[in-house]
A and B are shown apart, each in its own frame.
Chain A
């Protein structure tokens, strides 16, 4: 009965059906973390993305997962994903061989505010695999270096063996105008770097409140303490941006799984300005 006008604008394409992507390369980052480069499996190019967005990756017959895009946004020919193998499906995903085809939907979600950050210092704080969705932002900043002030990257991992993109981190650390510090929870004898939680690195960093945008991704408890440290140092809640994680089945706001208070993480997030969600952030079992 009622004429459904929206349908005409949108078309009836089924957003739940993936495009096909061919795994071009699988790179081992750590014992359990791998980076997959995916190229289109047909003449149809894969959709471009904004730093911080994610895709839904489908393994034939096994299932589908939300995975952040971790590659260079400028590189149009392929999409890159860094996946930590923690369950059955991620195990299947990281064991794909070059030439294998997977399903790709997306990209979905909000992105890091790289436009709003122009002219300012950018502070990147990452924990563990949380560096993956931040790497496209780093690529972007390095490519448009003059558009931004200082680049500060603070990265925490469990142990030296768990640092991802290790060679790249060392390269970034050698760049002028960049301060890149890594810390680990457990050092071991061969480690000469920092030991301790990522907030321990703030004492080595000079931050300019009102002139710094912080992009944060890691375990929620880590982000909570990072935010506390940054607010203590005078950064404004609107300049803090965090990427959150919840269960997701559809990626487009229909399955209900990713709800976070009134937000659907898949479409209202995963990246939020902290001031927009501070009343929900840190609530136990939200």
Chain B
């Protein structure tokens, strides 16, 4: 058994039907399985018990501020691109209890949260999403302190990647170096090939665990033709990307353009709703919420996703630091694309395009950045004039 495990990094071929035992196999190993499925006219991530729950035969249409489900001509299982959900919700949950406390006279006792973290197997993770998880690893598994909530979930993770053979107009993964094929960071990677009634997958194990699961599916070694076909499908999808971002020198440009007319321009359109931060697979900011029981004797402390677009986000005594929409949009964009590099060694953007699709005002990050690349014009008074006597 051990000797004939599929070699890591080698491509194998599977008929679509042969993938059917994938979920039972993962469940047998103690994983809860989540993947893309249709809920309320969108493809979201939810618990899957069978591959029949995948959005077979559906695709999605994306534009700035636009998202629609559409029937495909074939029955592809993964013939769409990323939706409003990201895997962030599985690893860095939108709401988590930090601890509960019970009053005890003048004192109180803390009950630590010891709930065992679910072990998730995530199916259908795109290469941009693998990149997002790698970015969140760097943010949340810090040098001195690790986020225990993330860490516990991350440790038990099984990742089934899917290489995109379709793209959306909002995708710009090529610019952010997160485009398929996925090279690493997965347990199993699939590339879907649909040709009329022929529905096949190229499969590659990325870990021993992945190889064990793959072995159970009865893979046959892929021929050079199969491999070329998959490569071509991915290449074709990536060759057709409509959006891009100029990234060389971007950090320095954004720092230099702290004052730039485009910030005002974007702020005039931005609703400060925070959608972009909620759909972003890397945005990690959180706030805390304290709840107490009506009798005043019980309390709990929750951590929740937060957005730098809210006025409260920067509140200190005397008022919020970032009062204007301009300053909040600038903080989000500059953090994501510039400060993140200083903080964690890479930009915080993977080019998934979610912030573009899900912006109700249709603000397009790639267009804003392109405009910010233009010269800032003469300095205005909002900079930082050296103080001194008149």
B309 → A minimal CB distance (Å): 12
Known: A17-B112, A61-B299. A283 touches B258 (CB 8 A): yes
A62 cross-chain contacts in B, Cβ below 8 A? 290, 292
A149 cross-chain contacts in B, Cβ below 8 A? none
Contact with B along A5-27 (1 / 0, CB 8 A): 01100101111111010100000
B217 → A minimal CB distance (Å): 18
Say yes or no: A15 contacts B145, CB within 8 Å. yes
- Of B146, B258, B316, which one neighbours A7 at CB under 8 angstroms? B146
Known: A1-B158, A100-B106, A246-B314. A7 touches B286 (CB 8 A): no
Say yes or no: B101 contacts A255, CB within 8 Å. no
Question: Does residue A210 face the partner (Cβ distance < 8 Å to B)?
Answer: no
Say yes or no: B157 contacts A256, CB within 8 Å. no
- How many chain B residues touch the partner (CB < 8 A)? 77
Say yes or no: A257 contacts B313, CB within 8 Å. yes
Say yes or no: A285 contacts B157, CB within 8 Å. no
Interface residues of A in 92-150 (CB under 8 A from B): 97, 99-101, 103
Contact with B along A257-286 (1 / 0, CB 8 A): 101011010010000000000010111111
Say yes or no: A16 contacts B384, CB within 8 Å. no
- Of A15, A103, A249, A282, which one neighbours B384 at CB under 8 angstroms? A282
Question: Does residue A189 face the partner (Cβ distance < 8 Å to B)?
Answer: no
B331 cross-chain contacts in A, Cβ below 8 A? 259, 286
- How many chain A residues touch the partner (CB < 8 A)? 56
A176 cross-chain contacts in B, Cβ below 8 A? none
B210 → A minimal CB distance (Å): 8
Say yes or no: A247 contacts B316, CB within 8 Å. yes
Known: A283-B258, A285-B322. A257 touches B314 (CB 8 A): yes
Tell me which of B22-30, B46-54, B136-144 binds A. B136-144
Question: Does residue A190 face the partner (Cβ distance < 8 Å to B)?
Answer: no
Say yes or no: B387 contacts A17, CB within 8 Å. no
CA distance A255 to B286 in the complex (A): 5
Counting residue pairs across A and B whose Cβ atoms lie within 8 Å, the total is: 165
Say yes or no: B154 contacts A4, CB within 8 Å. yes
Say yes or no: B296 contacts A261, CB within 8 Å. no
- Of B186, B288, B308, which one neighbours A256 at CB under 8 angstroms? B308
Say yes or no: A253 contacts B146, CB within 8 Å. no
Contact with A along B81-122 (1 / 0, CB 8 A): 000000000000000001101010011101011000000000
Say yes or no: A16 contacts B99, CB within 8 Å. yes
- Of A1, A255, A259, which one neighbours B209 at CB under 8 angstroms? A1
Question: Does residue A169 face the partner (Cβ distance < 8 Å to B)?
Answer: no
A285 cross-chain contacts in B, Cβ below 8 A? 321-324, 326-327, 330
Q: Which 10 A-B pairs have the closest CB atoms?
A: A256-B285, A285-B327, A262-B342, A61-B299, A61-B292, A101-B107, A262-B339, A282-B384, A252-B145, A16-B98
Q: What are 11 A-B pairs at a CB distance below 8 A?
A: A1-B187, A15-B148, A16-B99, A20-B107, A61-B101, A100-B107, A253-B142, A257-B287, A285-B322, A285-B323, A286-B321
Additional pairs, 15, CB under 8 Å, beyond known A1-B207, A256-B335, A285-B323 = A1-B186, A4-B141, A7-B141, A12-B152, A16-B148, A60-B103, A61-B291, A61-B292, A101-B107, A103-B110, A224-B387, A253-B145, A254-B142, A255-B286, A255-B288
Q: Which residues of A contact B (CB under 8 A)?
A: 1-2, 4, 6-7, 10, 12-18, 20, 22, 41, 58, 60-64, 86-87, 97, 99-101, 103, 224-225, 228, 232, 245-247, 249-250, 252-257, 259, 261-262, 264, 267, 279, 281-286
